[in-house]
Structure 1
Amino acid sequence: MLQYPLSAALPGAIRQVGYVVRDLDRALDDWLSLGVGPWYVMRGMSVHVLYRGQPCTITVSIALGNSGDLQVELLQQDDETPSIYTEFLASGREGYQQLAWWVDDLDAAVQAIVGTTGWPVVWSSDDTKSSLRYAYLEPPTGPAHVIEIMERTADTDGFAEMLRAAAAAWDGSQPIRTRTPHVAS
Structure 2
Amino acid sequence: MLGTHLPVRQLAFFVADVRAAALAHVAAFGSGPYFVADHVALASSQHRGVERPFDHSSAYGQWGSVMVEFVAQHNPDPSALRDAFPQGPVGGLHHTALFVLDLDASIAAFEEQGMPLAQLSVTQGGTAFAFIDALDRFGHMLELYEPAPLLTGFYEFIASAAEAWDGRDPLRSLG
User: What TM-score, normalized by structure 1, do the two folds share?
Assistant: 0.84
SS of structure 2 residue aligned to 1:134: strand
Matched, 1:35 2:21: no
Bigger Cα displacement from structure 2, 154-163 vs 129-138: 129-138
Q: Structure 1 residues 163, 50: closer, same or farther in 2, change over 3 A?
A: same
Match of 1:169 in 2: 164
Preserved CA contact (<8 Å) 2:102 2:146? yes
- Contact 1:58/1:79 (8 A) holds in 2: yes
Q: Which residue of 2 aligns with 1:55?
A: 51
Per-residue Cα deviation, 1:52-76 (whole angstroms, up to 9, x for no partner): 0111112111011111220111100
Task: State the Cα deviation string for residues 115-174 of structure 1 (Å, max 9, x = none).
Answer: 2x12110111258x6611121111252423211111111000111011111112111122
State the match for 2:141 in structure 1. 146
- One-letter amino acid of the structure 2 residue matched with residue 170 of structure 1: W
Q: Which amino acid aligns with 1:9?
A: L
Q: How does 1:98-137 map to 2 (within 5 A)?
A: 98-115=95-112, 117-126=113-122, 131-137=126-132
Q: CA deviation at 1:93?
A: 5.9
How do 1:60-71 residues align onto structure 2 when only pairs under 5 Å count?
60-71=56-67
Residues 52 and 30 of structure 1: is their aligned pair in 2 closer, same or farther, counting only changes over 3 Å? same
Q: Quick one: distance in 2 between partners of 1:85 and 1:12?
A: 22
Greater Cα offset, 168-177 or 102-111: 102-111
Deviation per CA, 1:2-41: give whole Å up to 9, x if none: xxxxxx2124211111100012222112111021100010
Partner of 2:15: 21
**C-alpha separation in 2, matches of 1:97 and 1:146:** 6
Any conservation in 1 of the 2:12–2:96 contact (CA below 8 Å)?
A: yes
Q: Tell me which amino acid in the other structure corresponds to 2:132.
A: L
Gaps of 5+ in 2: none
Matched residue SS, 2:55: strand
Q: How far did residue 85 of structure 1 move? A: 1.8
Residues 102 and 144 of structure 1, relative CA distance in 2, 3 Å threshold: farther
Instruction: Indicate if the aligned counterparts of 1:46 and 1:57 stay in contact, CA closer than 8 A.
Output: no
The percentage of counterpart residues that share the same residue type is 27
| Structure 2 length-normalised TM | 0.88
Question: Does 2:5 correspond to 1:9?
Answer: no
Looking at structure 2, the residues matched to 144 and 167 of structure 1 have their Cα atoms a distance apart, in angstroms, of 29
| Alpha-carbon distance between aligned partners in 2 of 1:154 and 1:104, rounded to the nearest angstrom | 13
Q: What count of residue pairs does the alignment treat as equivalent?
A: 171
